[in-house]
Amino acid sequence: MTTIRATLAAGLDPSTRAALDELLLSMADDEFVIGFSDSEWTGIAPLLEEDVAMSSLAQDELGHAAALYTLLAEVRADGRDADAIAYDRQPDEYRHARLLDHGRGDWAMTIARRYLYDTADGARLEGLVASSFSPLRELVDKIRREERYHVMHATTWLERLAARDGEPRERLLAALEELAPDAATVFAPLAGGERLVESGVLSESMAGLEARWRATITPLFVHLGLPMPQVAVHPDRGRTDHREPFRWLWNEFTSVRRSDPVATW
């Protein structure tokens, strides 16, 4: 079965296709991991309405991940489907940003991580709105419309936690401090990243997108008196060497699949 999208991907030169593979895998893994992390709040969020909201956001992210894995499966055209890419890998083969490696933590940690990730993801999506690879451009157009709400939700909570002295602000500051070294890892350079820019798949380098991201979040951080995230300490390891909390999460989200790898669901 050959789709139009697969045909378009097959027409790319091998180095561009390899870089596109890296990009799609990193984006899909980001959405997949934050979706699973945040779904841990289902049933235990601070209030019923927030429980529904956070669970709904988590579902959105898993939906984006599914769409990206499906596109990646067509680009690879090696017979493995989206589920196989999503579930049939060892923890070290995942390429999500280390920002998403931190455990669920408390509510402040979840909000801090969501805010940093959603705004960074927003900057990355901006870099793809005019992508020369039309299947990705069309998908990004849909994803951006949902991510807009995600940023609003995270911003609303960040403002409230930051504005209330005492425990809320202290917990938020502690979470931002823990995440600081990894905050910018969404922009960790990808193998073949320069090919993505040369071929017009991505509008500019990850460093350029990171600068845009920082410019976007600076006014709010200054307004709320929050410390700006630092530059990644080891950008070359921004999407590898995953931490223990992710290994635990991997064990959880692959457990059903591993219980019967050949089952038809």
**Chain residues that interact with other proteins, rule: CB under 8 A:** 47-50, 52-53, 56, 149, 152-153, 155-156, 159-160, 162-167, 219-220, 223-225
**CB 221, CB 170: distance < 8 Å:** no
Distance, in Å, from the CA atom of 77 to the CA atom of 11, rounded to the nearest integer, reads: 13
**In 164-262, where does DSSP find H-type helix?**
167-179, 193-198, 206-224, 244-253, 255-259
CB-nearer residue toward other proteins: 200 or 225: 225
Least distance CB 127 / other proteins (angstroms): 20
Which tokens go with 210? 């990171």
CB-nearer residue toward other proteins: 81 or 167: 167
Phi/psi for 230 (5° steps) reads: -80, 175
Least distance CB 167 / other proteins (angstroms): 6
Least distance CB 46 / other proteins (angstroms): 9
CB-nearer residue toward other proteins: 52 or 231: 52
Least distance CB 55 / other proteins (angstroms): 9
CB-nearer residue toward other proteins: 8 or 66: 66
CA angle 204, 205, 207 (to 5 degrees): 125
Which tokens go with 221? 């951080």
